[in-house]
Amino acid sequence: MSPANNAPDHNDPGFSHNPFDTLSSEGLPPGPADSPHPTEAKPARKNRGRVDIVRQKAGRGGKTVTVVKNFIGIGLPEKEQLAKAMQKACGTGGTVKNGQIEIQGDKRAQVAEILTQAGFRPVFAGG
């Protein structure tokens, strides 16, 4: 519409006008889609849920044990693999018993680090 008489202007493209039609990418660096070697983004770490880390002493002859429990959605082979990694990192023994990982000694910090790297959200529970 022309401002003088409020009559429609036939030269005015109206709503079909795209202001980006006249833009050119000439002289600009190549974008990610134009790149010959696209950089592969690392896949986002999937949060595999909360697990509880508990220090237990009762009923173990006075010995302290770090127990990791409340795993959701993982099977025994993966628990055994995690237990083995924890044993190696902590330099102690351990086992998988009743669906829980038990590591000898108070190794909560090291166990939490391994669980975080594996995509879990460790939470210190209990004493």
Q: What is the pLDDT of residue 73?
A: 84
Model confidence, pTM: 0.62
Is 15 contained in some domain? no
**Alpha carbon distance 76, 96 (integer Å):** 8
Is 36 contained in some domain? no
Is 31 contained in some domain? no
* Segments forming the whole domain that contains residue 96: 50-124
Is 96 contained in some domain? yes
pLDDT in tens, 63-114: 999 999 999 888 999 999 999 999 999 999 999 999 999 999 999 999 999 9
Is 27 contained in some domain? no
Q: What is the pLDDT of residue 106?
A: 94
Q: What is the pLDDT of residue 6?
A: 57
CATH number of the domain where residue 89 is located: 3.30.780.10
Is 9 contained in some domain? no
Is 34 contained in some domain? no
Most confident among 6-10, 32-36, 48-52 (mean pLDDT): 48-52
- For the chain, how many structural domains are there in total? 1
pLDDT in tens, 10-48: 555 556 777 777 778 787 777 666 555 545 544 545 678
From the list 48, 64, 45, 54, the residue with the least C-alpha distance to 105 is 64
Is 40 contained in some domain? no
